[in-house]
Structures are given as structure tokens and as C-alpha cells.
Amino acid sequence: MNVKLKEKISESLSAVLPITGIVLMLSVFLIPMELGSVVMFLTGALMLIIGMGFFQLGAEMAMTPIGEGVGVQISKMQKLLTVLLTGFLMGVIITVSEPDLQVLAGQVPSVPNEVLILTVALGVGFFLALAIVRIRYKISLSMLLIVCYLVLILVSMFVPKEFLAVAFDSGGVTTGPMTVPFIMAMGVGLASMRSDKNAANDSFGLVALSSVGPILAVLILGCFFKPTEAAYSLTDVATVVTTQDVARVFAQGLPLYAKEVLISLVPILWVFLIFQWMTHRYHGVQIKRIVIGFGYTYIGLVLFLCGANVGFAPVGAYLGKELAAVSFRWILVPIGALIGYYIVKAEPAIQVLNHQVEAVTNGAISVKMMNRCMQIGVAASVGLAMLRVLTGISIQWFVIPGYIIALVLSRMVPDIFIGIAFDSGGVASGPMTSTLLLPLSIGVCEALGGNLMTDAFGVVALVALTPLIAIQLMGLVYKAKTAKKTQTVPAAIADDCDMIVDLEEGE
């Protein structure tokens, strides 16, 4: 086996095992599951581990170099209009290729799928162009985010409450496993052409602004459509008796996701071919490596999405329904927090972000630090999501204060933490959130007889929110430690000078 692939699969194993263990423990001690359902879940977990390993290697070999190349080329463009059009087209093409968006479109009632997908794609395209201009002209990310989120909060006041959760969810699902590696690498490529001291800081923030676009676009769309009920239908755990039954169920799902991922990859493949034809940037070995990377990405996403949707999603819905039926249903809050703490490491795009952060900061912000902060943030968000389902509290009471806190913190932390924090919010809410946490939330809501549109939806939005606060709090700690070290060094130098003076006087 390829040594690098073996390393990536090993990382995936350590990421998926904890959440697998939690579900198995729940099935043993709290919510009994049929043996067939457990086998389906474990098979899905195995596919997740292998798929995540292939995907990470594929993103490293293909998405990252293409994104960086496009970023470098855009930074060389002289005309602002050309820059804006290129950024806009890149945003639209990449968004349409995101598998998570197809899932969201099928869940929103009263809005045709094509209308929602186009609306979200236009939102991402516009804000990606804005993000590129920000890097080009060194505009403050903090100030830009404050303006954007204040506009979001203002617009949200005029949108029907049934549409709010879906709108904020759309910002999370748009920045998924297909878009994140490409957009992040694009930011690195754009910033690499600058020689100023803030270039590394400005390489982050593209995902953050790209997440704002779809939220604003769907909020505006909500002013014209009036959804009253959710179209989401939960899938029951397949009834299996033998190992052949398990193989048959997954074999039926594989062609569907193989087609879905192929459709998603084709636009990015076209971007690569056109870009290569126009610039001749890559040669021989590089082209071969990128083509192999596309193959790894394809295999990885097919296995990952099939494992998540066929093996994990039905179990999530089942656990939600059963946990809501127990007499001490408030246990959902700590169980949700525990699942959130461990599930974030199983998001494929999270590891891409964390390794990129470690590389750009030369290890000052490590993968371990990022993982820990993201885990704490997502644990809090899933706990709050379960609290919302149980109580029916409007998502506005969580989202608006949360974003205000995040924006206030953005004026207090070092610049690099702002981009990383707001990027992490979009990255945290990926396919694992939509295939395990959302069905879990909907299962609970259905069991309690709640309103799916107002109570169950919104878990993706909360998962996208809390990392913003957690990462920036880490930035405050980092800032305090750095300041302390800065004060300690001059004090030590002063002590040494006093000692020298004393010695000279003694002579």
C-alpha cells in the first residue's frame, strides 16, 4: 500500500473510532439495537475510514495544487473586472459541485431544487469575488465580517421564522469536502504573491466570506417563499439477516453516490483542463500526480458518502427517536455534546484545514490545538441543538448573540486567528453533520411532535457558529502568552544589565 495513503487511513481510523465507540456503547447500555443494524453501522464506519483516507490524499495531490495555481494566476491579473469575474465563476462552479448542497436542496419545501442551488451558488460566487478583492487590496477581514454579519442579522428580522434555520444551515453545507480544499488553497496562492508581513494572515478568510454568501442569498430568497413544513424523510435502518444482505444494501447505494460524486468532480476537472490549457503551469509528473489525485478524491468521496448515508444516517435517526422516548430525555443534551466532541474529527475537510493552518503558521498553531478547540466548540453546539429540539427555543436566540460575540472577539485577537476561526466554522459543518447529527435532531423532533422547520433544522448552523468563538478564545490565550513572554525577555535583559553594572562597580 502507498505509504502516504496508509498514513492518511491511520489518521482516519483514529478520527472515526471514537464516534463509533460512543454509538456502540449507547446500543449496549441505553438504546438496544438489532445485530443487523449494528453490522450496517460498522460497515459504514469502515467505509468512512477508508474513504476519508483516500479523500485526504486526493485533496493533497489534486485540489491543493490546482487551487494554489488558480490563486497565483488571479493575483497576476491587472484588471479588477477580470479578477471579479474569475472569482465569481470559480465560486459558482465549485458550489454547484458540492454534494452537501444537493442534500440540502432536497430538504427545503416550497423552493424548487434548481432555484435553491442557483441562489446559493450565486451567493458564494459574489462573496468569493469579494474575498479575493479583500486579499488583493489588504482590506481588514474583521471589519468586512462585521459589516456582512450585521447585514445578515438585519435581513433575518424580515424572514419567516420557518426559513431562518434552513438559511443559516445553507452557509454550513456549502463549504463541504469538495469546496474547502480548493478555496483554501486558492487563498494561499493569492497571498503567496504578496511579500508583506500580513500575507500569511490574509491567506485565510476565503471560506469565511464564502459561507456568508449563501446565508444572505437564502435569507433573501425566504422573503419570496413561504415554507410551512419540512420535506425531509428519514430512512429506516435496513433490515438485514446475513452478510450478503449487508453487501447488497451497500452495493445498491454505491452506484448512486458514484454518479453524484462524478457529477460533482466534472466541473473542477474542467477548471483544471482549461486552466492548464491557458497557462501551461503544470508539467509531466505534476499532471500525472494531479490526475491520480482526482482518482483518489473520487474513490474517497464515493466510499465516504455511501458509508455515511447508508450506514450512519439511519442509525442517527433511530437513536434520536429512541432517546426522545426515554423518561430522562434531558440526557440528550450531554449525549449530543459528547457525540459533537468526537464527530468533528471525522469531518474530512477539517483535517485539510488543520494541516493547512499548521503549515502556514510553521507549527505555531498545531493540528492538535485546532482539533481540541474545534471539538469543544462543536460539543457546545450539538448540546445547544438538542436543547433547542427539547424546548423549541428559536434559533435567533442562539445565532444572533453568538455572531455578536464572535465579531466582538474579532477586534481583540491577532489577525490570523480571525481568518482561521471563521474558516473553521464553515468547515466544521460537513457531511458527517448532515448525515448523523441532522437525522439525530430530526428523529428527536419527530418523536416529540415538534416543528421540523423551526426546531430540528439549525443544527448545521450551530455547528458552524461555535468554532468561531472557540478558535478566537484560543487566539486570546495565545495573545496573552505572547505578551507575557515579550515582557519577561526585557525584564531578564534588564536584570543581566544590573548584574554587569554591579560587577563593574565592585571592580
The residue among 269, 280, 352 whose CA lies nearest residue 69 is 280
Say if CB 413 and CB 476 are below 8 A apart.
yes
pLDDT of residue 54: 93
CA trace torsion 495, 496, 498, 499 (10° rounding): 120
pLDDT of residue 500: 41
Instruction: Collect the ranges in the chain with pLDDT lower than 50.
Output: 230, 493-494, 497, 499-501, 503
End-to-end CA distance of the chain: 71
DSSP 240: -
pLDDT of residue 103: 60
C-alpha cell at 241: 439477516
Q: Give the dihedral sign, CA 366/372/378/384.
A: negative
3-state secondary structure 254-315: HHHHHHHHHHHHHHHHHHHHHHHHHHCCCCHHHHHHHHHHHHHHHHHHHHHHHHHHHHHHHH
Q: Which uninterrupted H or E stretch holds 82?
A: helix 80-96
pLDDT of residue 501: 42
Tell me the C-alpha distance between 413 and 406, whole Å.
Answer: 11
> How far lies 286's CA from each of 345, 364, 507, in Å?
30, 30, 68
